[in-house]
A and B are shown apart, each in its own frame.
Chain A
Amino acid sequence: MSARLLQVAALALCLAVPLVPGLPSFWITLLNYIGLYAMVTLGLVVLTGVGGMTSFGQAMFVGFGAYTTAIATTRYGLSPWLTLPLAMLTTGFCAWIIGVVTLRLSGHYLPLGTIAWNVALFFIFGNLDFFARYDGISGIPPLTIGSIVFSDGASMYYLIWLTLAVMIIATQNLLASRVGRAIRALRGGVIAAEAFGVDTARAKMLAFIYAALLAAVSGWLYAHLQRAVNPTPFNLSASIEYLLMAVVGGAGSVWGAILGAGLVTVVRDQLQDILPRLLGAQGNFETIAFGIILVAILQTAREGLWPHIAQLASWVKPAGRSHAAAGALAPCGRPEPQAAAPLLEVVGLRKVFGGLVAVNDVSFAVDRGEIVGLIGPNGAGKSTTFDLITGISPPTAGEIRFGGEAIAGERSRAVARRGIARTFQHVRLVPSMSVIENVALGAHLRGRAGALAGITRLDQAEERRIFAEAARQLGRVGLGEMADRPATSLALGQQRIVEIARALCLDPVLLLLDEPAAGLRHREKAELAELLRRLKGEGLSILLVEHDMDFVMGLTDRLVVMEFGTKLAEGDPATVRANPAVIDAYLGGVT
């Protein structure tokens, strides 16, 4: 049974629920709320589970949606169908403002900032005449389509669950798209993603606004279901509850969101019945259970309950993807480096960390079609030099010229756009993505599809080309068989090779490889050397850091030797090997 078929069956089952004879209308009401909550939780899946950020302000976004339609329909007589885009626009704009202020900061400022916003907004809703203070706004008209009036629970049920179904599909499409890969790279892959041209700040903002928009639609539906709004359902506790749903269900998958919304809603309903009777007093005692459940889930099943349920259903085949050739992917649009100057020229490069001079006035050059090795003992400043060239950190002083143009201090995104691709000494693959998805991230700059194209699957032609290219590069490095395996299931040496495939996906002019042969077996090293020679033959220039001397000596045209941040020697392998200073550095003065 395929996953796609299962999804269709689940949808059909959902649509049949209200038709069950004798079903208490109370259950329909509960299901309506589950649907509304699941929409908000779905947003948290993208934001928290996938993007690794979190917000305690989702209820506030629901409130924006609900109040927008409440005010526009009751005071200005607007049609509810007109207020839907209005609600999304208002909420999206507010989310953008909040995002601008907090998203650039490290992870915990977003939740703290949204707590403050949510608390403040609750008091604004409750104290301004414009929002009818704590009394709220009533008399909101029901939704209508022609002569159909969505005035009761059962009719709203269809609207809510159909909307939810659309949102699930949209979210799955988004996450599978080019933009989705950028969002998924936020967790554990920011530096690598930036090095391949992904604007991670933009990806963060996109995830945040997307989550807010889902909440806004939920609020819009809520207002027309309740036909009245007041500030209470949009307070901080509600935001906390949405996060609880995401964590309990499992924020890593869209189904976890629905499971979490369902479980929390049903359990709360039961506890609100039982606990006050048990304790002999009125109050929201269910928060005690919720709090304990939340901590217990984090301690014992941090990914939530859904992955455990999904494991039981391992007979469901994942929807397979074929990476068949689908036309060539356009090369990265960029000006070709000028022919006259050396391809890469580093002059007087210097980097100081506090009192430590990590790179001390180093100069060297890489010509077209040349393989240059950067060698030296540990701590010589080789990886730091790579970081400076690729814009991961700015140099303290010195010049870096690429095709004659100064690039020192450019961000790593801009450097990638020039056609400089790299691998990392400490492998930086996105753990939650498959091998081929990681490689496809390398082709980010060669695609154009945005979030909307991704959601509507209008990007499919381009996606096929991107994946065909990724598959081609994987085949080139000899890992074609591994395409659909989780990236972290590969041996470390193979993960380095995957990074090379990812770098090749950028269609680079210059390739920077940081210890590519580490962790490879003898035969694999020979194959890697063969591959690099072939790439050189195709006109690619390569700068590599490596400790394996046999590998370096046989492969490179020239060597640059560094020690303690300073360039010690430069020349062809044979000359360098005979250089007394180099021997001294490597053998520690034993001659």
Chain B
Amino acid sequence: MDLSILLILVQDGVINGAIYALLALSLVLVFTVTRVIFIPQGEFVSFGALTLAFLERGQAPGTLWLLVGLGVAAAIFELMGARRQLTPRLVARILAVDMALPIAISALTLWLAPQKLGVVVQVLLALAIITPIGAYLYRVAYQPLAGASVLVLLIASIGVHLALTGLGLVFFGAEGSRTDGFSSAMFDMGQLMVSGQSLWIVGITLGLVGALAAFFELTLLGKALRATAVNRLGARLVGIAPALSGAIAFTLAAFLGALSGVLVSPITTIYYDTGFIVGLKGFVAAIIAGLASYPLAGAAAIVVGIIEALSSYWASAFKEVIVFLVIIPVLLWRSWRAPVIEEEE
């Protein structure tokens, strides 16, 4: 292997790693705020990519059903939960956020999709369809379990993953899709050809990491999320609603997942179940970071991407094996540092 092949592999690794980094960041975000180990994160990648693929073909994606269906379910949960203190204003707000919004997005999509208005509009539509699903999903599946142990929440995540994967098959069928991408430009950088798409991916990831850092450090909402992460009860006592924090974390997770899907779909074919394995690689990075540190998760994701790229060159059949077993030495190391006795909740 010469330098040029190595460079190409590393470039591949960094691009995939950037995607894993986005996922790892949202996994850390969701876990720290809600204690949910968000296995279904990867489904948003598939949903984002395939929704975009359908829009490119001028078709209405099946995820609209999910958007409206979950919105209605969330409205019902919300109304039932607050049935003793319903005011006209509250009812109006619930109906607006959980029913009017998804219906409006759906109507807009049905109107715009056949017109094929170009990649920017399509990408924005895809993100608009997938992002609110995160909040509704939290309301319907997780909020009723907010007080449960990490283990119960994890099992619930598995349930959500099963349901969403099955729905993905219903919505998109078993065939994979690839999208056109933002840019077909190619740049010649010495020995390396760099595609415009890969610059987009790395650029957007860096931008988002910066934006997230600013959000958590500088805004009141970001600080509220961090407070919830540290101590739910304490946050509640000072007036931060854990349910709101949870909904925001899940909305961000859905957005980051869909964005990853939109970014990655021009460079690899996405099937309805591709997202799961992509999401698990984000998990490998998040676990390396102890599900706690954003910068560590981001860095670990890049390393995971590079390891994957290198092993796909040397031992392509064992690519996945190598990537997933990377966590073993990490777990071993964490295990050694773990306190002797640890009591769960």
A sample of 16 more A-B contacts (CB under 8 A), given A247-B155, A298-B159, is A102-B331, A108-B150, A113-B327, A113-B328, A120-B324, A120-B325, A127-B317, A190-B342, A191-B341, A281-B170, A283-B166, A284-B169, A285-B169, A287-B163, A287-B165, A298-B145
Candidates A107, A291, A302, A412; contact of B341 at CB < 8 Å:
A412
Q: How far is the CA of A451 from the CA of B245 in the complex (A)?
A: 46
Instruction: Answer whether residue B296 sits at the interface, using C-beta atoms and an 8 A cutoff.
Output: no
Instruction: Answer whether residue B334 sits at the interface, using C-beta atoms and an 8 A cutoff.
Output: yes
Check B320–A295 contact: CB distance below 8 A: no
Query: Which residues of A281-302 have CB atoms within 8 Å of chain B's CB atoms?
Result: 281, 283-295, 298-299, 302
Instruction: Answer whether residue A200 sits at the interface, using C-beta atoms and an 8 A cutoff.
Output: yes
Interface of B is mostly: helix
Instruction: Answer whether residue B335 sits at the interface, using C-beta atoms and an 8 A cutoff.
Output: yes
Nearest B residue to A297 via CB reads B159
Instruction: Answer whether residue B8 sits at the interface, using C-beta atoms and an 8 A cutoff.
Output: no
Candidates B144, B156, B320, B327; contact of A123 at CB < 8 Å:
B320
Candidates A115, A284, A285, A292; contact of B159 at CB < 8 Å:
A292
Check A123–B321 contact: CB distance below 8 A: yes
16 contacts between A and B (CB under 8 A): A115-B283, A116-B324, A120-B325, A123-B320, A123-B321, A124-B321, A200-B341, A243-B155, A281-B170, A283-B166, A288-B170, A291-B165, A293-B159, A294-B162, A298-B148, A298-B159
Chain A residues within an 8 Å CB radius of B225: none
Check A281–B173 contact: CB distance below 8 A: yes
Instruction: Answer whether residue A279 sits at the interface, using C-beta atoms and an 8 A cutoff.
Output: yes
Check B340–A243 contact: CB distance below 8 A: no
Check A52–B151 contact: CB distance below 8 A: yes
Check A105–B162 contact: CB distance below 8 A: no
Instruction: Answer whether residue B107 sits at the interface, using C-beta atoms and an 8 A cutoff.
Output: no
Chain B residues within an 8 Å CB radius of A286: 166
Chain B residues within an 8 Å CB radius of A243: 155, 158
Instruction: Answer whether residue B2 sits at the interface, using C-beta atoms and an 8 A cutoff.
Output: no
Instruction: Answer whether residue A94 sits at the interface, using C-beta atoms and an 8 A cutoff.
Output: no
Q: Known A54-B151, A108-B150; judge A283-B174 contact (CB<8 A).
A: yes
Nearest B residue to A284 via CB reads B166
Query: Which residues of B290-345 have CB atoms within 8 Å of chain A's CB atoms?
Result: 291, 317-318, 320-321, 324-325, 327-328, 331-332, 334-335, 338, 340-344
Q: Known A102-B331, A112-B287, A299-B144; judge A288-B162 contact (CB<8 A).
A: yes
Candidates A107, A123, A291; contact of B163 at CB < 8 Å:
A291
Please classify how large the interface on chain B is, using the bins under 10, 10 to 19, 20 to 34, 35 or more. Answer: 35 or more
Check B167–A288 contact: CB distance below 8 A: yes
Chain B residues within an 8 Å CB radius of A285: 166, 169-170
Q: How far is the CA of A274 from the CA of B141 in the complex (A)?
A: 25
Q: How far is the CA of A204 from the CA of B324 in the complex (A)?
A: 24
Q: How far is the CA of A279 from the CA of B173 in the complex (A)?
A: 11
Chain B residues within an 8 Å CB radius of A213: none
Looking at B160, B283, B320, which has the most chain A CB atoms within 10 Å of its CB? B320
Check A101–B154 contact: CB distance below 8 A: no
Check B144–A101 contact: CB distance below 8 A: no
Smallest distance from the beta carbon of B165 to chain A beta carbons, Å? 6
Nearest B residue to A237 via CB reads B162
Candidates A106, A124, A200, A291; contact of B162 at CB < 8 Å:
A291
Please classify how large the interface on chain A is, using the bins under 10, 10 to 19, 20 to 34, 35 or more. Answer: 35 or more
Chain A residues within an 8 Å CB radius of B320: 119-120, 123
Check B150–A107 contact: CB distance below 8 A: yes
Instruction: Answer whether residue B233 sits at the interface, using C-beta atoms and an 8 A cutoff.
Output: no
Instruction: Answer whether residue A259 sits at the interface, using C-beta atoms and an 8 A cutoff.
Output: no
Q: How far is the CA of A107 from the CA of B332 in the complex (A)?
A: 15
Q: Known A119-B280, A288-B170, A298-B152; judge A105-B334 contact (CB<8 A).
A: yes
Q: How far is the CA of A54 from the CA of B155 in the complex (A)?
A: 9
Instruction: Answer whether residue A392 sits at the interface, using C-beta atoms and an 8 A cutoff.
Output: yes
Nearest B residue to A285 via CB reads B166
Instruction: Answer whether residue B164 sits at the interface, using C-beta atoms and an 8 A cutoff.
Output: yes
Mark interface residues in B52-96 (1 if CB within 8 Å of A CB, else 0).
000000000000000000000000000000000000000000000
Check B331–A115 contact: CB distance below 8 A: no
Candidates A52, A279, A302; contact of B170 at CB < 8 Å:
A279
Interface of A is mostly: helix
Q: How far is the CA of A194 from the CA of B148 in the complex (A)?
A: 25
Check B283–A112 contact: CB distance below 8 A: yes
Mark interface residues in A90-115 (1 if CB within 8 Å of B CB, else 0).
00000000001110111111011101
Looking at A119, A285, A291, which has the most chain B CB atoms within 10 Å of its CB? A291
Query: Which residues of B126-164 have CB atoms within 8 Å of chain A's CB atoms?
Result: 141, 144-145, 148-152, 154-156, 158-164
Q: How far is the CA of A299 from the CA of B73 in the complex (A)?
A: 15
Q: How far is the CA of A116 from the CA of B283 in the complex (A)?
A: 9
Instruction: Answer whether residue B37 sits at the interface, using C-beta atoms and an 8 A cutoff.
Output: yes
Q: Known A288-B162, A291-B163; judge A102-B152 contact (CB<8 A).
A: no
Check A106–B151 contact: CB distance below 8 A: no
Instruction: Answer whether residue B50 sits at the interface, using C-beta atoms and an 8 A cutoff.
Output: no
Mark interface residues in A287-322 (1 if CB within 8 Å of B CB, else 0).
111111111001100100000000000000000000
Q: Known A284-B166, A295-B141; judge A107-B344 contact (CB<8 A).
A: yes
Check A291–B151 contact: CB distance below 8 A: no
Check A101–B37 contact: CB distance below 8 A: no
Check B169–A283 contact: CB distance below 8 A: yes
Q: How far is the CA of A285 from the CA of B168 in the complex (A)?
A: 10
Mark interface residues in A406-439 (1 if CB within 8 Å of B CB, else 0).
0000011000000000000000000000000000
Nearest B residue to A119 via CB reads B324
Nearest A residue to B336 via CB reads A104
Instruction: Answer whether residue A263 sits at the interface, using C-beta atoms and an 8 A cutoff.
Output: no
Q: How far is the CA of A294 from the CA of B327 in the complex (A)?
A: 28
Instruction: Answer whether residue A357 sits at the interface, using C-beta atoms and an 8 A cutoff.
Output: no
Instruction: Answer whether residue B21 sits at the interface, using C-beta atoms and an 8 A cutoff.
Output: no
Check B156–A109 contact: CB distance below 8 A: no
Q: How far is the CA of A117 from the CA of B18 in the complex (A)?
A: 24
Chain A residues within an 8 Å CB radius of B284: 116
Check A392–B344 contact: CB distance below 8 A: no
Check B164–A291 contact: CB distance below 8 A: yes
Chain A residues within an 8 Å CB radius of B148: 298, 302
Nearest A residue to B144 via CB reads A299
Chain B residues within an 8 Å CB radius of A105: 331, 334-335, 338
Check A290–B155 contact: CB distance below 8 A: no
Candidates B161, B324, B340; contact of A291 at CB < 8 Å:
B161
Query: Which residues of A39-70 have CB atoms within 8 Å of chain B's CB atoms?
Result: 48, 52-54, 56
Instruction: Answer whether residue A347 sits at the interface, using C-beta atoms and an 8 A cutoff.
Output: no
Q: Known A194-B341, A285-B170; judge A123-B159 contact (CB<8 A).
A: no
Nearest B residue to A112 via CB reads B287
Mark interface residues in A266-288 (1 if CB within 8 Å of B CB, else 0).
00000000000001010111111
Q: How far is the CA of A291 from the CA of B152 in the complex (A)?
A: 14
Instruction: Answer whether residue A228 sits at the interface, using C-beta atoms and an 8 A cutoff.
Output: no
Q: How far is the CA of A291 from the CA of B163 in the complex (A)?
A: 4
Chain B residues within an 8 Å CB radius of A53: 151
Check A191–B343 contact: CB distance below 8 A: yes
Q: How far is the CA of A109 from the CA of B337 in the complex (A)?
A: 14
Chain B residues within an 8 Å CB radius of A302: 148, 152
Instruction: Answer whether residue A240 sits at the interface, using C-beta atoms and an 8 A cutoff.
Output: yes
Smallest distance from the beta carbon of B50 to chain A beta carbons, Å? 15
Nearest B residue to A279 via CB reads B170
Smallest distance from the beta carbon of A285 to chain B beta carbons, Å? 5
Check A120–B166 contact: CB distance below 8 A: no
Nearest A residue to B291 via CB reads A108
Q: How far is the CA of A295 from the CA of B142 in the complex (A)?
A: 9
Q: How far is the CA of A411 from the CA of B318 in the complex (A)?
A: 43
Looking at B152, B159, B161, B338, which has the most chain A CB atoms within 10 Å of its CB? B159
